[in-house]
Amino acid sequence: MSVQLAPPSLEVTELSRTVESIVFDTPVFDIHTHLYPATFQQLSLWGIDELVNYHYLIAETFRSAPITPEQFWGVSKIEQADIIWQTLFVRHTPVSEACRGVVKVLSSFGLDPNVPNLREARKFFAARSAEEHISDVMKRANVSDVVMTNDVFDPVESQLWLENTPVHEKYHAVLRMDPLLNDWPRAHSVLSERGYKAGAVIDQPTIESAKKFLDDWVNRMKPLYMAVSLPPSFGYPEDSPRAKLLTEVVLPVCRSYNLPFSMMIGVRKQVNPALKDAGDSLGHAETAVVERLCRDFPQNTFLVSMLSRENQHELCVAARKFNNLMPFGCWWFLNDASIVTEITDERLELLGTSFIPQHSDARILDQLVYKWDHSRRWIADSLARAYASLIRDGWKLTSDQIQRDVQRMFQDNFRQFAGLPAFESTQKREAR
């Protein structure tokens, strides 16, 4: 006998529409990207040939194209884009997240994605200027600010900073320091070459040099936080150069400038070097390391993103134990519908709205359009489900509450951690 199900309550049906419009209408602070302002010249990537040459798509191309990495790397970027387009978008259906992203960007600019080549798209992007394109993309993606990844060990980028290259007001710096913590032999030679005498043995004079190096870069860049990506084997406490530099150099400098420290944990670099940027993989890390750092350094604040799906629930529980720990984003191989949904659901269940749901990790400016469209849809669906359960439990939910929650997750959880003033919408600012 079929049971007549009660029709969904109006509130719940209306709820999804209300949540989706608030999530899409609330500007987001994109706290981790690889974007650069137009003044950073060749570092500032945008347009169809960069977009199609995203390393995620390169990895997928090698699975379906009869071409070796050597042959691929031997042709021009335009020829590489043509190979990728023919392989992933013409000969096969672009159903992967990275492929769908390109489709979304093209259709968002009114370009037909169902085309046999990139001729039209190239014409469209060639007619755009960098500055005009940046403001157009940030408006379409409803991104209020982007945080860059500024590698102080990169010779090209550090030179641009040493020349006081102007930075677009919506682009914020981050002091990224992977060689310092992951490759001390290289890092101490770079420090010494740049006048910060540092030896292989991390003695007190070397510690002082490394602090001075970071001090000078903090004062030059005015970063919102300091950052590193770390392998799954990352340990603390540990008798290693990394642990010594982290606890005696990096965390003290963070404290002296009241800067959060961002740890992106779980990357296994270059498991297939032939793929270059596309050659990295992941591994399960020890979440207890994060807990011990939060416990032993209560004056430091930690932004943490972990790369393994299996670390996500553990990270939520760790964040329940330490309020100086802010989980953020669904990083890299986690940034797709099935896993963003799972992670956002468990974060809402365990942390309420006290987390940062997403960052784009965009490398090419145009990616902001699809990464934030897709993530907003997934986050809105998770949020609507959480609210529907709350309403069923008897809560009277208002749209003001939804707006407050979304603004907290998209803006103020980070702003508070980074010591920035709370977000003020354009309407509020104009009403002042």
- Residue ranges in contact with ligand HDL by CB under 6 A: 34, 149, 229, 264, 277, 280, 332, 361, 363
The least distance separating Zn ion from the CB of residue 150, rounded to whole angstroms, comes to 12
DSSP H helices, 194-302, are 204-221, 241-245, 251-257, 287-296
Half-sphere exposure of 371 (CA within 13 A, CB side): 26
Q: Measured from the CB atom, is 280 or 412 closer to ligand HDL?
A: 280
* 178 belongs to the binding site for Zn ion (CB under 5 A): no
Question: What is the CA 326 to chain-centroid distance, rounded?
Answer: 14
Q: Measured from the CB atom, is 49 or 361 closer to Zn ion?
A: 361
β-bridge mates for residue 147, sequence order? 172
332 makes contact, choosing from ligand HDL, Zn ion, none, with CB < 5 to 8 Å by partner type, with: ligand HDL
413 makes contact, choosing from ligand HDL, Zn ion, none, with CB < 5 to 8 Å by partner type, with: none
The least distance separating Zn ion from the CB of residue 266, rounded to whole angstroms, comes to 12
DSSP state of 42: G
Using alpha carbons only, what angle is made at residue 362 by residues 360 and 363, rounded to the nearest 5 degrees?
Answer: 165
| Contact by Cβ (8 Å): 356, 328 | yes
Q: Measured from the CB atom, is 88 or 227 closer to ligand HDL?
A: 227
291 makes contact, choosing from ligand HDL, Zn ion, none, with CB < 5 to 8 Å by partner type, with: none
| Contact by Cβ (8 Å): 209, 196 | yes
Within 8 A by CB and 6+ apart from 166, the residues are 37, 39
The least distance separating ligand HDL from the CB of residue 280, rounded to whole angstroms, comes to 6
| Contact by Cβ (8 Å): 268, 333 | no
Stretch of 286-294, 353-361, 398-406, 423-431 lying at the interface with Zn ion (CB under 5 A): 353-361
| Contact by Cβ (8 Å): 368, 138 | yes
Q: Measured from the CB atom, is 218 or 264 closer to ligand HDL?
A: 264
Question: Which pair of structure tokens corresponds to residue 91?
Answer: 């000969």
98 makes contact, choosing from ligand HDL, Zn ion, none, with CB < 5 to 8 Å by partner type, with: none
Q: Measured from the CB atom, is 97 or 361 closer to Zn ion?
A: 361
The least distance separating ligand HDL from the CB of residue 361, rounded to whole angstroms, comes to 4
Question: Which pair of structure tokens corresponds to residue 38?
Answer: 């137009």
The least distance separating Zn ion from the CB of residue 420, rounded to whole angstroms, comes to 21
Stretch of 155-163, 241-249, 279-287, 354-362 lying at the interface with Zn ion (CB under 5 A): 354-362
Q: Measured from the CB atom, is 94 or 101 closer to ligand HDL?
A: 101
229 makes contact, choosing from ligand HDL, Zn ion, none, with CB < 5 to 8 Å by partner type, with: ligand HDL
374 makes contact, choosing from ligand HDL, Zn ion, none, with CB < 5 to 8 Å by partner type, with: none
363 makes contact, choosing from Zn ion, ligand HDL, none, with CB < 5 to 8 Å by partner type, with: ligand HDL
* 280 belongs to the binding site for Zn ion (CB under 5 A): no
Question: What is the CA 221 to chain-centroid distance, rounded?
Answer: 19
| Contact by Cβ (8 Å): 355, 302 | no
Q: Measured from the CB atom, is 216 or 336 closer to ligand HDL?
A: 336
* 361 belongs to the binding site for Zn ion (CB under 5 A): yes
β-bridge mates for residue 171, sequence order? 146
The least distance separating ligand HDL from the CB of residue 229, rounded to whole angstroms, comes to 4
User: DSSP states of 195-224 as a string?
Assistant: T----SS--HHHHHHHHHHHHHHHHHH--S
**CA 231, CA 284: separation in Å to the nearest integer?**
9
Q: Which residue is nearest to Zn ion (CB)?
A: 361
The least distance separating ligand HDL from the CB of residue 363, rounded to whole angstroms, comes to 6
The least distance separating ligand HDL from the CB of residue 268, rounded to whole angstroms, comes to 12
Question: Which pair of structure tokens corresponds to residue 284?
Answer: 């399960």
**CA 296, CA 291: separation in Å to the nearest integer?**
9
The least distance separating ligand HDL from the CB of residue 67, rounded to whole angstroms, comes to 22
Question: What is the CA 289 to chain-centroid distance, rounded?
Answer: 22
Using alpha carbons only, what angle is made at residue 297 by residues 295 and 298, rounded to the nearest 5 degrees?
Answer: 75
The least distance separating ligand HDL from the CB of residue 34, rounded to whole angstroms, comes to 6
Nearest to 420, CA basis, from 216, 254, 260, 219: 260
Stretch of 112-120, 271-279, 361-369, 419-427 lying at the interface with Zn ion (CB under 5 A): 361-369
Q: Look at the block and give the residue holding tokens 């500007």.
A: 27
Give contact residues for Zn ion (rule: CB under 5 A).
361
